[in-house]
Amino acid sequence: MNTAFQKVYTKITQITKATCSLKAQGVGNDELAIVNGRLAQVVKIWGEDITLQVFSGTEGIPTNAEVTFLGKAPTLKVGDDLCGRFFNAFGDPIDGGPAVDGEEREIGGPSVNPVRRKQPSELIATGIAGIDLNNTLVSGQKIPFFADPDQPYNQVMANVALRAETDRIILGGMGLTNDDYLYFKNLFDNAGVLDRIVSFVNTTEAPPVERLLVPDMALTAAEYFAVDRNEKVLVLLTDMTLYADALAIVSNRMDQIPSKDSMPGSLYSDLAKIYEKAVQFPAGGSITIIAVTTLSGGDITHAIPDNTGYITEGQLFLRKDTEIGKVIVDPFRSLSRLKQLVIGKKTRKDHPQVMNAAIRLYADAANARTKLENGFDLTDYDKRTLEFAKDYSNELLAIDVNVSINQMLDTAWTLFRKYFTRSELGIKKEIVDEFGNFSD
Partner 1 sequence: MAKTQGKVHSIISNLVLVKVEGPVSQNEICFIEENGERLMAEVIKVVKDLAYVQVFESTRGLKPGMPVEFQNHMLEVSLGPGLLSKNFDGLQNDLDKMTGVFLKRGEYTNPLEEDKKWSFTPLAKVGDRVKAADWLGNVKENWLDHKIMVPFKMEGEYTVESIVPAGEYTILDVVAVLKDAAGKKYDITMVQKWPVKVAIRNYVDKPRPFRQMETGVRVIDTMNPMLEGGTGFIPGPFGTGKTVLQHTLARFADADVIIMAACGERANEVVEIFTEFPELQDPRSGRSLYERTTIIANTSNMPVAAREASVYTAMTIGEYYRAMGMKVLLLADSTSRWAQALREMSNRMEELPGQDAFPMDLSAIISNFYARAGMVFLNNGKTGSVTFIGTVSPAGGNLKEPVTESTKKVARCFYALSQARADSKRYPAIDTLESYSKYLEYPEFVEYAKKNISENWIADVNEVRNMLVRGRETSEQIDILGDDGVPLDYHLVFWKAELIDFVILQQDAFDNIDGSTSMERQQYMLNKVLEVVRSNFEFDSFEEVNPYFKRIINGFKQMNYSEFQSEHFKKFEAEVEEIIKERKSV
- The footprint of partner 1 on residues 312-331 (CB under 8 A) is 313-315
Q: Determine which residue in the list 16, 84, 112, 148 makes contact with partner 1, applying CB under 8 A.
A: 112
The Cα–Cα gap between 47 and 23 comes to 9
DSSP string, 183-219: HHHHHHHHTT-GGGEEEEEEETTS-GGGGGGHHHHHH
Q: Could you say which of 77, 371, 390, 417 contacts partner 1 (CB under 8 A)?
A: 371
Residues 244-303 that bind partner 1 (CB under 8 A): 256-260, 265-266, 268-269, 272-273, 276-279, 281-282, 300-303
Q: CB of 267: closest distance to partner 1 in angstroms? A: 9
60 or 282, CB closer to partner 1? 282
Q: Looking at beta carbons only, is 41 or 159 nearer to partner 1?
A: 41
Helical residues (DSSP H) of 300-350, grouped into ranges = 303-311
Residues between 206 and 235 that touch partner 1 (CB under 8 A): 227
Q: Does 4 bind partner 1 (CB under 8 A)?
A: no
- Whose CA is closest to 66, among 136, 10, 145? 10
Gap between the terminal Cα atoms of the chain: 78
Which one of residues 16, 36, 73, 75 is an interface residue with partner 1 (CB under 8 A)?
73
DSSP-derived secondary structure for 408-439: HHHHHHHHHHHH--HHHHT--HHHIIIII---
Report the chain's C-alpha Rg in angstroms.
Answer: 25
- Return the range that interacts with partner 1 (CB under 8 A); candidates 32-40, 110-118, 178-186, 387-395: 110-118
Residues between 149 and 208 that touch partner 1 (CB under 8 A): none
Closer of 49 and 95 to partner 1 (Cβ): 49
Binding flag, residue 88, partner 1 (CB under 8 A): no
Tell me which of 37, 47, 192, 297 binds partner 1, using CB under 8 A. 47
The distance of closest approach from Cβ of residue 164 to partner 1 in the complex, given in angstroms and rounded to an integer, is: 18
Whole-number Cα distances in Å, 383 to 41, 244, 324, 363, 413: 63, 45, 17, 13, 19
Task: Give the number of residues in contact with partner 1, rule: CB under 8 A.
Answer: 84
Alpha helices in 224-350 (DSSP H): 240-253, 267-275, 303-311
Which CB, 17 or 428, lies closer to partner 1?
A: 428
* Bridge partners of residue 33, in order along the sequence: 40, 69
